[in-house]
């Protein structure tokens, strides 16, 4: 991947994130002095970095799922068997409900 061919907004975003991470590492090592404003800055950048990683991870995971779903154009044999099993369970539940209703009607007639 040629870094100079990427959009400027992408380069700026990567630069800002790398600068934040460098600041966090230097703060943890102790090379940056500690005071209240640095602690607030550290906390803010930490929250920003974790939030950015979560959003980017969610986007990439969504892209992976969408790509897989669109590229397969169908279900795997395992997924097909699970769908058939689901239909079988649904049909069995219907039959059980019918039998239960018949038993309840029979009990009502006996009373």
Which residue ranges make up each domain of the chain? 1-74, 75-111
Per the CB < 8 A criterion, the answer to whether 45 and 23 are in contact is yes
- Give the pTM: 0.38
Instruction: Give every CB contact of residue 42 below 8 A, 6+ residues apart in sequence.
Output: 23, 24, 27
Distance CA 105, CA 102 (A): 5
For the chain, 111 residues long, give each residue's pLDDT as a single digit of tens: 565 677 787 788 888 888 888 877 887 887 877 677 777 877 888 888 889 889 988 888 888 877 877 776 777 788 889 989 999 999 999 999 999 999 998 888 876
């Amino acid at each position: 991947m040629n870094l100079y061919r990427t959009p400027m907004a992408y380069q700026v975003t990567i630069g800002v994130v790398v600068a934040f991470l460098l600041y966090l590492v230097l703060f943890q090592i102790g090379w940056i002095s500690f005071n209240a404003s640095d602690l607030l800055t550290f906390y803010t950048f930490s929250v920003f970095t974790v939030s950015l990683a979560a959003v980017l991870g969610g986007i990439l995971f969504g892209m992976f799922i969408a790509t897989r779903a669109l590229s397969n154009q169908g279900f795997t044999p395992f997924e097909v068997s699970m769908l058939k099993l689901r239909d079988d369970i649904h049909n069995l539940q219907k039959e059980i409900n019918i039998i239960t209703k018949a038993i309840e009607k029979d009990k009502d007639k006996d009373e």
